Structure 1
Amino acid sequence: MNQRFAKAIGEASRQNSFIWVHDYQLALVPKYLNKPKDAVLGMFWHIPWPTWEAFRILPQKKELLESMLSCDFLAFHRGYHVRNFLDTVRREFEVRIDEETNKVYYNKRMITVKNLPMGIDSDVIKAVAQQSQESSFFGAIAKALVDIDNQKKMKNSFEEFFKKYKVIIGIDRLDYTKGLAFRLKAIEKFLKKYPQYVGKVVYVGIIAPSREAIPAYKAVRKEIRKLASEINLKYVREGWVPIHLIYQVFTRKDVMNFYKKAQLCLVTPLDDGMNLVSKEFVIAASSVENPGMLVLSQFAGSAIDLTSALIINPYNVEEVAIAIKDGLEMKRQEKLRRMKSMAEALEDKNIYAWTEDFVRAAIDAAK
């Protein structure tokens, strides 16, 4: 696949072309690419770069690093991703690294490495969030959340659900890095620590199926379903269960309604490159009069921008449980202040500003 991409890029490229490669799936493209003279080659690595101790077991490590070091410019989301990469290169190759400029001198080449947190298209998110919602999504969610008898009693079961309960949401791809088991344990800790919320708070986890043919992903799904069932059995009340897991993919337009109505959004990955959900939630929720609050893992790349969120260590279920309570009880004015601050930061550092920063940095690196 990488050879085919490299061939196609080579055929389309001319002198002074700008070539931008994205993520680990295409990591070997620079190796196979016959880069035209004076062309600029940059790569953005979207996922966290591991420590050298973890990376060193990879059988293809030399080939991967050689390919990446064929670029003029490399960028990651977070500063510690850059530090991990530079440490890896230092330990695997005989290189000279300028610590002040993050320039790597290797094989008669100079490669610049930098952290550039990726932005989102905040204008598009706001536009989607402001659109009216079709009833099909309400129906799909209502069927998943409300039993048939209650649906018959409710004129609009989706709307009634949000009026009846304080709703906490989580929107994730099924993945072992998303911290879903730790999240459910934190919700259980919250219910045990603050029993006044039993019967009043529900967690709705929308989980997009992903790579379910892979045993590790099958195991994750089995683990979280078992854990959710155990917690629900422990705390169930007449007409109420605390945890609802929905294995379904919804459009961005659909999800925006959840963002706008939820009292709390849990984004608790154990490690993540950026995390789109946290940024989309902020933009969508900031458009309503009484927004929800964001509980965010310190290990999500977006934590570097969303400093007004309730930042937590997802491995610490006690800390997450306290943050859930704090978020639910936060005064409206405080939520408005925090959400406004974060939304403004995302608008300033949007996808277009990020693109411009990357292109400028790559061109400068190639000079």
Structure 2
Amino acid sequence: MNSEPHVPVDHILAASSHRDPYAYYAALVAGPALVFDAPRKLWIASSAASVKAVLGNAACHVRPPAEPVPAAIMGSASGEVFGHLVRMNEGVRHDVPKLALQRFLAGVDLRHVQARTEALAATQAGQGPLRGAALSRWMFEVPVMAVADMLGFADAELPQVARWMADFVACLSPVSTPAQLTASAEAASALLARFAELVRDASAHPGSALARLQHEAIQVGWHDANALLANAVGLLSQTYEATAGLIGNSIIALATQPGLLEAMSREPGQLLQMVNEVSRFDPSIHNTRRFVAEATQVAGVSLQTGDVVLLVLAAAGRDPLCNVRPDAFLLDRPDRDVPGFGRGPHQCPGQALACQIAAAAIKSLLASGRLQAVSSFSWQYRPSMNARIPVFVD
């Protein structure tokens, strides 16, 4: 298992990939509601109350008003997708499409998704042991394949969709290389073209997922065909890293929480409960940002236009005012509050789907016996300023 010696967290943007950032987060939660980090030029909100206040403040936007699309991808196919994403917009460009996506995701047959995910997970695992780099690839591929399958891609296409998505998400990093940005744009173009074909085919299959998404879009008055295609790509991109991290962090919980592997092997029906607790205890997304579009106040602190607020969602989930006994891993936790999926207008509508996919993937590994030696697994964390995604090593 991971045996890296303890070293302190250097700064807030290094915390998500630190071996154990939770004592650092606890100190933030115990301090002022908002703290200004001068070297990084941002405010930090870490308590459940301050995070909730920022997420509910209409003056705090998901993108800088002057840069709705990152400059590095402006004018590319990646930028086209990004600019249409519901989660990256405000007002009508957010509210109406989000309602369609909420209704669509609420109608997903989670039992069917569970069964398909288990089958895909078993196929992708292949034969023999699964650990190290192979396990890391598996945890990225399975969730994106599960969602692509749900959206109508044929089995033979799923590996290519996973490759496209691996290339596409590179554009979301502020340190992407020119080669990665080019590959991302090519992947975005391919995904948009394939989704356009699937949407056209959906009219002949009224019960298909994309037909239902089109129906919900029409019902709420969302008539932007390009935006619908972009948000179909967005469903895959959100799955690729966030759900991979949820699967990986669930495997780590099985390796480190006393008695958990035995309990889940004995009662796999509790795996969804376990994943829900992992999403609070050690979430895959540790922070997100908000950009102040006009002067406002949060927790008695005056914020000015142009200010940036970093919301430490993982710290809020460990706030004792948010969850009692926050540092205990409890399967049957009453009134579990999971800030990692957001709150307010931009709360993630895919929480149930992500947790179901993660639970099904873990169930497949447990059933195959590949996690019996999980306590001997080794891992590091992928360098990231906001995501906590383990990388298993040989």
Same fold (TM over 0.5): no
Q: Which has the higher helix share?
A: 2
TM-score, normalised relative to structure 2: 0.28
Q: Which has the higher strand share?
A: 1
TM-score, normalised relative to structure 1: 0.30
Highest CA radius of gyration, 1 or 2? 1
- Higher normalized contact order (CA 8 Å, seq sep 6+, divided by chain length): 2
